[in-house]
Structure 1
Amino acid sequence: MEFSNSYELLIELKNKNLLENKPKYWWPNFGTFEVVVGAVLTQNTRWENVEKALNQWKMENENWRVEDIASLDPVFLAEIIKPAGFYNQKSKRLIALSRNILRDFGDFESFKENVDREWLLAQKGIGFETADSILCYACGREIMVVDAYTRRLLKKHGYEFESYDEMREWCERGVEENWDKLDSIYENSLNLCFARFHGKIVEFMKK
């Protein structure tokens, strides 16, 4: 596989049908509070463990709601999310994050429309990748998530970056500069393109 920019990388990955039988935006339940929970839970663990934790809540509840999590006891939530590891820490952070969302935005819909990266990064336990995952997959923003899979793939092909943001900007730039060749493929949605691009990289590197 050879590429000189992120557009060429996207085309290479697009031809491999990596997201067959995956959700449209790759991350399950796009646009819901469950994405926020999943983005926190997936830190330092495998997605399969996150799914177990997410499903344990849904065995007795219809879905994840910010109002519900904000009112929980940390010990109770920790038991539910135990499969995801670091459950005591993640429990406290999810409850604090939920309460801050309600305090600063009122509800999840307002949060989706108005939150910015600076606010997310100011929350305890939220780093660049988690913040961008929330913005891309929960809020539908035009932002590319990059992670350890992205870094390994690009390094393998001779691309190394000094920071997370430098790598993210490289991934976004090639796509944006060639958007006229991609817009119809991705329904004129740059968010959809970035969401699937990230998903393609992860699925490719997991094989």
Structure 2
Amino acid sequence: MAVTLTGDLLQIYDALFTSFGHQHWWPAKTPFETMVGAILTQNVSWTNAAQAVRNLEDAGMFDPHLLTAADTADIARLIVPSRYYNQKAERIREFAGVYVREFGADPAAMAAVETGELRERLLALRGFGEETADTILLYACEKPVFVVDAYTRRIFSRYGLLPEGASYDRTQRLFADNLEEDAELFNDYHAQIVHLGKTICKKSPLCDRCPIREIHGALWCAVGRG
């Protein structure tokens, strides 16, 4: 079963890559920008989060030491486009403080921490769920941790590889248990899933355009069958 499932997952990735090309994620200039971006993009589109990132840059505030010392109200005013800006301002300030105090504001020092230990540290921060923590681990620290989001659950449950309503952990294990640990693969695979979910496998899907409608002649989208 595992070998077949591994092959299916790789064929799905290959079909997505062939159709969409490399996605070049995460769109950030520095690892710290990726970390803050992971907070800003919670419950909002990347377009909105990117505007908040630009606002912080334009104000000269995209520095962990400055954010640690800043008033949360000052941060909040700059990140209004990201929604829930008061909460996110608090999360950014708290995270920046941890990043400075515990890792010396050095992404290499942070990345050197064992993956499980670092994940637990991030999850201990207020407002940090599994997706935010794993986004930082994969895209900022280049650790082979597969990021799961709503698109992942939707697409792979429609293709019968996950039960409907699968948990974050169950969904993550689908990839972690059947693919080699490869940060580069996990990086682009997740980005491909997001692109597919945004453009084709939407709540009202465009099944005739889906590049993974059939894999091995056995996996058919439940929505398309209907």
Q: Percent identity?
A: 33
8 A contact 2:23–2:191 mirrored in 1? no
Q: With structure 2 as the length reference, what TM-score do the two structures score?
A: 0.76
Number of corresponding residues: 189
Alignment of 1:191-206 (within 5 A): 191-206=183-198
Question: Partner letter of residue 199 of structure 1?
Answer: A
Unaligned ranges ≥5, structure 2: 200-226
1:139-194 Cα deviation digits (max 9, x unpaired): 11011101100000011112126421121011122222xx8xxxxxxxxxx11110
Q: With structure 1 as the length reference, what TM-score do the two structures score?
A: 0.83
Question: Partner letter of residue 49 of structure 1?
Answer: N
Q: Is 1:51–2:43 an aligned residue pair?
A: no
Q: Which fold has the larger relative contact order, with Cα–Cα distance below 8 Å and residues 6 or more apart in sequence?
A: 1
Alignment of 1:84-103 (within 5 A): 84-103=82-101
- Mapped to 1, the partners of 2:170 and 2:49 lie a distance apart of 28
- Mapped to 2, the partners of 1:60 and 1:103 lie a distance apart of 23
Across the aligned residues of Structure 1 and Structure 2, the Cα RMSD in angstroms comes to: 2.1
- Mapped to 1, the partners of 2:10 and 2:54 lie a distance apart of 32
Unaligned ranges ≥5, structure 1: 180-189
The partner residue of 1:164 within 140, 145, 168 is 168
Q: Is 1:67–2:65 an aligned residue pair?
A: yes
Determine the structure 2 residue equivalent to 1:138.
140
- Mapped to 1, the partners of 2:77 and 2:156 lie a distance apart of 38
Please tell me whether Structure 1 or Structure 2 has the larger radius of gyration of its CA atoms: 2
Question: Partner letter of residue 116 of structure 1?
Answer: L
Label 1:7 to 1:149 Cα distance change in 2 as closer, same or farther (>3 A). Answer: farther
Question: Partner letter of residue 196 of structure 1?
Answer: D
